[in-house]
A and B are shown apart, each in its own frame.
Chain A
């Protein structure tokens, strides 16, 4: 099983619909992140969480919300999807407890809003 699992892998939804992307991890890491990637561009940070009670906005949080249900689970919601939220979404984790802040990424969710 993958260390960081994202569901669904692919999703097509209509404008105005609410959609949730889910992420779970078996790394035991405290920190979790949601990024989006648009074609030909690098990754941009949407939200990040240091623990269950700590949620922080990233570079592009407008139109998104998150929920950290447990240490291992971090969900991203689009309350009312719009076409320019069509992108590839990645969840990532990192360990704050050591000097190595290496990240582990999931395989991504490809979201299309029509």
Chain B
């Protein structure tokens, strides 16, 4: 299973872009990178996912390096409600489809 490495915590000023990095150097060719977030003990919430192209949706953008060994989640205009734990997950390459969660990055958005 591909392992991910994220910084344990980050701060961001309200209104600024939050850039959350993730390393996944052992990712396999057909494994997707997923991002979820968990706001204060609520159920994790899907944000975005990608294979090799950059992706954007109404919540965030996902930038994946050309070698696919790392990625960055970008929240373009962080708000206080974006304070959460952000998980970068590589989907297990098997029929199980199960997500394996690491420790994630605690993002604190400050006024």
Contact = CB atoms under 8 A, between A and B. Distances in A.
Given A42-B87, A88-B41, A108-B42, A103 B101 contact: no
Interface residues of B, number: 21
B102 A42 contact: yes
B98 A105 contact: no
List 8 A-B pairs, minimum CB-CB distance, nearest first.
A105-B43, A42-B101, A43-B101, A102-B46, A105-B44, A101-B97, A107-B43, A106-B43
Interface string B70-99: 000000000000000001000100001111
A52 to B, nearest CB: 17
28 contacts: A4-B43, A33-B98, A35-B101, A41-B103, A42-B103, A42-B104, A43-B101, A45-B99, A45-B100, A88-B41, A90-B43, A92-B43, A94-B97, A100-B49, A101-B32, A101-B34, A102-B46, A103-B36, A103-B44, A103-B46, A103-B99, A104-B46, A105-B43, A107-B42, A108-B41, A108-B42, A108-B43, A110-B41
- Interface of chain A: mostly helix, strand, loop or mixed: strand
Interface in A36-61: 41-45, 48, 56, 58
Interface of A: 4, 31, 33, 35, 41-45, 48, 56, 58, 88, 90, 92, 94, 96, 100-108, 110
